[in-house]
Amino acid sequence: MFEIKRYSDLDKKQWDQYVSKARNATFLFYRDYMDYHRDRFADYSLMFYKGPRLYALLPAHFKDNILYSHFGLTYGGLIMDYNVTITETCQLFDELNRYLKAAGIREVYYKPIPWIYHLHPSEEDLYAIFWKCHAQLYSRNIGTTIFMQRHQRWRKDHRRLLRKALDNGVTVVKDGSLEAFWKILDDNLAERFHAKPVHTLSEIELLKSRFPDRIIQYNAYKDHEIIGGLTVYLTQQVVHGQYSSTNHVGKEYGAMEAIYNQLMYHDYPDYPYLDFGSSTEENGSVINEGLIAHKEGFGGRGVCYDTYHWLL
């Protein structure tokens, strides 16, 4: 039997300590990251105990008697350490369903952590939600990821632009100005997609101040003027491009090629994965073919980001 407890601020230290040793967690699950937008999401995170031992965590929020894990994050799902087993995970979801139903929750939307972020195989939850929850795939998004140790050859147009960047003095600055890049990002998203970044400048600056070694801004410059940038989320084994954008000069002179060359072959050559993020619209159902082809030109291929749903 599990004791299931809703998270409160008094549990922050224990929650964060568990995240730090989990086999499938990233820094997005530390409370200093999760709680930056707590005003927009009613937290319903859960902690599972076996006796006195904290066994697992479920970051979540709720709205209209629906549990979401977690739509304020890129991914959610059950956070597990090395002691978690498949048999006990099945038991956990059985008891979770009874707990939620008793609390008046009617349905669940669940976003598991993609396998590239696992430090050790961690798909016990996928088995459990299929057999114990009768979960169905609700939506599927696709990201583009490189296994960097293969040193995949870039497509010809990317190699040409990298050479142009190097020949024309394009420089890359690590931990550059977020404010300077955000102007390019805002303008580009507004012009191309009539959209805005998920994070405001003040929010990303706040998160950067809390995770200075995990959120890193790369900017590219030509003639001392910024021409593009990439906001990196650095987890244990994934270099994830959270935001990328260039202006017209950056497109012409290979700003992104210069940045990815710096990441892949100089700063993080020993990392397993470089994740370019998704290239879809309309909740993942429409592929931005030009954007995903750009990422595939560096050698990236597909990793799915799924959402599952079940009724209680």
Q: Domain 145-304 - what CATH class? A: alpha beta
With a cut of 80, say whether residue 50 has pLDDT above it: yes
> How far, in Å, are 59, 93, 123, 164, 191 from residue 47 at the CA level?
9, 13, 19, 53, 43
Reply yes or no on whether the pLDDT at 281 is more than 80.
Answer: yes
CA 190 to chain centre: 23
Q: Which amino acid is at 39?
A: D
Mean pLDDT over residues 254-268, rounded? 97
Residue for token pair 């003027």 = 225
Residues 92 and 56 sit within 8 Å (Cβ to Cβ) = yes
138-173 pLDDT per residue, tens? 999 999 999 999 989 999 999 999 999 999 999 999
216: pLDDT confidence band, cut at 50, 70 and 90? very high
Region 109-135 average pLDDT: 97
Among 32-41, 161-170, 214-223, where is mean pLDDT lowest? 32-41
Is 74 within 8 Å of 25 (Cβ atoms)? no
CA 276 to chain centre: 10
What is the average per-residue pLDDT within 281-296? 89
184 pLDDT more than 80: yes
Helices and strands: H and E segment counts in the chain: 10, 17
CATH placement of domain 3-134? 3.40.630.30
pLDDT mean over 72-84: 95
| pLDDT (0 to 100) of residue 38 | 87
Q: What is the pLDDT, as a whole number, of residue 206?
A: 96
User: pLDDT at position 194, please?
Assistant: 73
Average pLDDT in the 270-283 region? 90
Residue 263: how many CB atoms within 10 A of its CB?
A: 23
DSSP state of 2: -
Average pLDDT rounded to a whole number, residues 91-120: 97
Q: Is the pLDDT confidence value at 200 over 80?
A: yes
Q: What is the pLDDT of residue 178?
A: 96
Tell me what the pLDDT averaged over the chain comes to: 95
pLDDT at 87 over 80: yes
Domain boundaries, the chain: 3-134, 145-304
Mean pLDDT for 65-80 is: 94
| pLDDT tens digit sequence for 172-182 | 999 999 999 99
Residue 197: pLDDT band with limits 50, 70, 90: confident
Q: What pLDDT score does 78 carry? A: 98
Q: Quick one: pLDDT at residue 225? A: 97
Q: Is residue 280 over pLDDT 90?
A: no
Would the pLDDT of 114 be above 90?
yes
Report percent pLDDT > 90 for the chain.
88
- Is residue 252 within 8 A of residue 246, CB to CB? The reply is no
At residue 165, the pLDDT reads 98
Left if phi > 0, otherwise alpha if psi is -120 to 50, otherwise beta: which for 14? alpha
Q: Distance of CA 115 to CAs 74, 102, 119, 215, 303, Å?
A: 13, 32, 9, 21, 9
59: left (phi over 0), alpha (psi -120 to 50) or beta: beta
> Of 12-16, 129-133, 283-287, which gets the smallest average pLDDT?
283-287
CB count within 10 Å of CB 167 equals: 10
| Nearest C-alpha neighbor of 308 from the set 167, 176, 159, 113 | 113
